[in-house]
Structure 1
Amino acid sequence: MTDQPQAPAEQPTDLSAEGSTPTLGAEAVVAYLRDNPTFFAEHDELLSELHIPHQRGDSVSLVERQLKLLRDRNIEMRHRLSQLMDVARDNDRLFDKTRRLILDLLDADSLESVVMAVEDSLRQEFKVPFVSLILFGETAAPVGRWVNSGDAQQAIGGLLCAGKTVSGNLRDHELDFLFGEEQRKEVGSSAVATLNHQGLHGVLAIGSRDPQHYKSTVGTLFLSYIAEVLGRVVPRHTQTLRPVR
């Protein structure tokens, strides 16, 4: 509320203690409203927040009940709007971080730059505790983690065949392959996206200690974007990749 009733200048102010904030007594409010009978006509938005009983005996009038319902609905709508605003701000921050990472990937001049950009951004900017970028190829390159395509299919074939980003609680052998046996014990939930463009080139996995953080229904739009860009950027910097069909 922007406009609050102010006590007249001559009205004494009740101080509970020296240096404390002045408190406005009920008598001062009553006096002000008597001197300003059109106050609520000029500030009718306050009426929805006031509680004014309108009772006859033990019954409650329809007017009071309607006002209560409207007041409750107004509070609920405010909460919903606040939640939507929070989601919008979170999405703005995610979009900005994703945009910077994608630009870094497009500007990368080597496979080492690509790997470093992904891992540094996810750990430092996105604050992801567990990050795993695995590239598939018959011959490993000196940069990044490489595995044989057959071994990948055997370990996480179900994730690779999904054709979309998967999130939730993975099986132990899938976590072992993605994060290693030691880190797997700390991963509560994870999200996995394939690097798939004219053939399967790798997988990008992120993990959290919170079992509920990456739920099966969580949105993975931004992770999918990053994986799509990687699927196009990685093959530019190496000749060792072999498509996995």
Structure 2
Amino acid sequence: MIEEQQTEITDAAVVDYLRLHPDFFHRHLDLLEQMHIPHPSGNAISLISKQLEIFRAKHQEQESQLNALIDIARENDASFNRMHELTLAMLEANSLEDAVANLSEVLSECFLTDFVGIKIVRDGGCSPISNLFVAADEPNLKHFANELATNQPKCGRPTLVQATFLFGDAATEVKSCAIIPMVFTQLEGILAIGSRDEGRFHYSMGSVFLTQMSEIIGTRLISLLQQLD
């Protein structure tokens, strides 16, 4: 088998090619953005060279802005699809037990969470789900007083007391979580989603989607709770 020999292109060959094809850069203007051509005047910069330099900088900036917008659009699409799956999962639930099971599944698969905790503030509740209902005078609720008072989600690392109340025996595994209050006329409760990853739910995260999540879940829970009355 004869090995192919690679031919090295010399400077002279490039020069000869460009002389034979003077319109080469007209057909490949994008190359000019990547090339640095010295000016005959040395350190002096011609007006055309300066304009080209400015054009390159603006082009790179616009390209970066476009890529950032594309990333945001992709993330928004992904968030919309996740919320859609969550809505379907809640609508398919015919009981509180179904709702909790569906919620755990969709949050794990679509939102990549490890733990889910739900607490409904309601006296005399009866459910096969362990510790789903808590009394209004439950002492541990004081650790969530700010979230319930402001009805605003909070992300970050929970205290051990908070994690134990929300996630039970898995408390020590939770490195970050989102505590999402559900405060409505017909429902008061807490939804918590936790992760083993410290950076999964960071304190600087936005709250728009978390608030929408609480509205979707809370609305369905209200409907299912009415079946118990």
**Interval of TM-score (by shorter of Structure 1 and Structure 2):** 0.7 to 0.9
What corresponds to 2:211 in structure 1?
224
Which residue is 2:56 aligned to? 71
2:74 maps to which of 89, 106, 119 = 89
Matching of residue 207 in structure 1 with residue 194 in structure 2: yes
Shift of the alpha carbon at 1:94? Answer: 1.9
Q: Counterparts of 1:59 and 1:129 in 2: how far apart (Å)?
A: 62
Aligned identity (percent) is 32
Aligned residues: 225
Q: Distance in 2 between matches of 1:83 and 1:44?
A: 25
Aligned to 1:12: none
* 1:50 aligns with one of 23, 28, 35: 35
1:55–1:173 Cα change, 3 Å: farther
2:145 counterpart residue number: 157
Match of 1:167 in 2: 155
Q: Unaligned regions of 5+ residues in structure 2, if any?
A: none
Is contact 1:196-1:228 (8 Å) kept?
A: no
TM-score (norm 2): 0.81
1:40 aligns with 2:28: no
1:241 CA displacement: 8.1
Give me the whole-angstrom Cα distance separating, in 2, the residues matched to 1:120 and 1:146.
21
Aligned in 2, Cα 1:23/1:96: closer, same or farther, shift over 3 Å? farther
SS at structure 2 position matched to 1:157: helix
Question: Secondary structure, in 3 states, of the residue corresponding to 2:173?
Answer: coil
Pick one of 176, 179, 187 that aligns with 1:189: 176
Counterpart position of 1:143: 129
Q: Does residue 213 of structure 2 align to residue 234 of structure 1?
A: no
Displacement, 1:155?
A: 3.1
Deviation track 1:40-92 (CA, whole Å, cap 9, x = no partner) reads 22333332222112253444445444433432342233233223212321221
Q: Distance in 1 between matches of 2:6 and 2:78?
A: 39
Which residue, out of 75, 84, 92, partners 1:107? 92
Deviation at residue 122 of structure 1 after TM alignment: 0.5
| Cα distance in 1, alignment partners of residues 59 and 18 from structure 2 | 26
CA shift for structure 1 position 200: 3.5
2:92 and 2:61 map into 1 onto residues whose CA distance is 47
Structure 1 residues 28 and 183: CA distance shift in structure 2, 3 A: farther
Q: Measure the CA separation in 2 of the matches of 1:221 and 1:157.
A: 21
Specify the SS of the correspondent of 2:108. helix
Maintained 8 Å contact 1:194/1:200: no
How far apart in 1 are the matches of 2:174 and 2:50?
51
Q: Which amino acid aligns with 1:214?
A: F
Instruction: Provide the rounded CA distance (Å) in 2 between the counterparts of 1:225 and 1:22.
Output: 63
**TM-fit CA distance, 1:185:** 2.8
Tell me, in whole angstroms, the C-alpha distance in 1 between the residues paired with 2:86 and 2:93: 10
TM-score, normalised via structure 1 length = 0.77
Describe the superposition over 1:170-190 as per-residue Cα deviations: whole angstroms up to 9, x where unpaired: 33322232223x533333322
